[in-house]
Amino acid sequence: MSQPKKGPSTKQKKLPKKVQEAIQKNQQGKKWGRQVKKSHNRPELPQIKPDQVFKDRDGKSYTFSESALKRVAAHLLQKNKKQWRYRNFPFPVVGHNGNEIEVLFDFYVYDSNETIVRVILVVPNESRELWDRLGLFKKQFPMYTHEVWTPEVMAELLEKSWLGY
């Protein structure tokens, strides 16, 4: 006959400490996994006057009176001495079912050789549709680097002394 295995049986086996803690937290009313914040705190961005004028690389003036986020984005680009244009042209992108979609970025950043370095989209929050559209854009136009500037991203960029390009 074979010898019985040493140690506790599977019924008597203790769970790892982390698992025990998770079970206790769950029993206290807390849920497992990543918690979603119910109150989304927006960062404090500088209040730029709606009548402030921003000039692009061609000297064309913009005020962005309809969007505080675009004013902050233009302020960031101007503060970092970037050459930019506002909504210069749309990119035609073929969608999943074959129809053509236009992807229009808010800011087009240029280098000294008049080459587009970055295309920037300013949005109040990210969504699945936005990332689907950007994924299609990236597949069909891999030569362009795109950025999505949300209030959180702009708050981080305001703390830095440069944009990284």
Distance CA 30, CA 20 (A): 14
Across the range 5-32, mean pLDDT stands at 66
Read off the tokens for 104.
Answer: 């229009």
Distance CA 145, CA 122 (A): 15
Instruction: Answer yes or no: is 67 within a domain.
Output: yes
Q: Can you give the pLDDT at residue 34?
A: 54
Instruction: Answer yes or no: is 69 within a domain.
Output: yes
Q: Can you give the pLDDT at residue 78?
A: 92
Mean pLDDT of the residues in the chain: 84
Q: What is the CATH number of the domain that holds 129?
A: 3.40.1350.10
Cβ-based neighbours of 50, under 8 Å, separated by 6 or more: 63, 64, 65, 68, 71
Q: Can you give the pLDDT at residue 72?
A: 94
Instruction: Answer yes or no: is 26 within a domain.
Output: no
Read off the tokens for 3.
Answer: 């010898």
Instruction: Answer yes or no: is 25 within a domain.
Output: no
Instruction: Answer yes or no: is 48 within a domain.
Output: no
Q: Can you give the pLDDT at residue 62?
A: 93
The better pLDDT of the pair 39, 133 is held by 133
Q: Which domain holds residue 101?
A: 54-159
Instruction: Answer yes or no: is 14 within a domain.
Output: no
pLDDT > 90 fraction of the chain, expressed in percent and rounded: 55
- Could you identify the residue written with the tokens 């970092």? 80
Query: How many independent structural domains does the chain possess?
Result: 1
Q: Can you give the pLDDT at residue 140?
A: 94
